[in-house]
Amino acid sequence: MSHHTLDARRLLCPMPVIKTQNFVATLAQGDTVDVICTDPGAKNDIPAWCRINGHEIIGMADKDNDIVITVRVDNQNN
């Protein structure tokens, strides 16, 4: 299990979701990733995408001007 960081700053939705989706597809079960975004829309869209695809949101925090959304990968049903 490893931890990763994905830079999705200055991208507008749905690009942060697409980036997250494509990156998560390369990760293993239980891996975690901090997705760093600036579009506040990602606060709705990334959790919605995770709910649909069975992944888990384990953190969401505002840091300076960024939003950090932490996703735990669950590929078991994929």
Partner 1 sequence: MSQNNISQNNMSQNKQTKQRKAVALISGGLDSLLAARVMIEQGIHVEGINFFTGFCVEGHTHAIRKKDKAKPKRNNALWSAEQLGIKLHIIDVIEDYKDVVINPKHGYGANLNPCLDCKCFMVSKAMEWLKENDFDFIITGEVVGQRPMSQRKDTMPVVARESGANDLLVRPLCAKNLPATYPEKQGWIDREKMHGFNGRSRKPQFKLASEFGFSDYAQPAGGCCFLTDKSYSVKLADLWQAQGERKYEFDDIMLLKMGRHLRPRPHFKIIVGREEGENNFMEGYKNQFTSMYTLSHTGPFVLIDGKTNEDDIKLAAQLTARFSHGRDASSVKVMVRQADKKEFTLDVTPIPSDDIPKEWYI
Binding region for partner 1 (CB under 8 A) out of 26-34, 38-46, 56-64, 67-75: 38-46
48 binds partner 1 (CB under 8 A): yes
Contact present, 38 and 65 (Cβ < 8 Å): yes
49 binds partner 1 (CB under 8 A): yes
The C-alpha atoms of residue 13 and residue 59 are separated, in whole angstroms, by 19
Contact present, 69 and 57 (Cβ < 8 Å): yes
Instruction: Determine which one of 11, 13, 15, 18 is catalytic.
Output: 13
**Number of shown-chain residues binding partner 1 (CB under 8 A):** 18
Pull the structure tokens for residue 52: 């649909």
The residues pairing with 37 across neighbouring beta strands, listed in sequence order, are 8, 67
CB of 47 to partner 1, least distance (A): 9
Binding region for partner 1 (CB under 8 A) out of 7-15, 26-34, 56-64, 67-75: 7-15
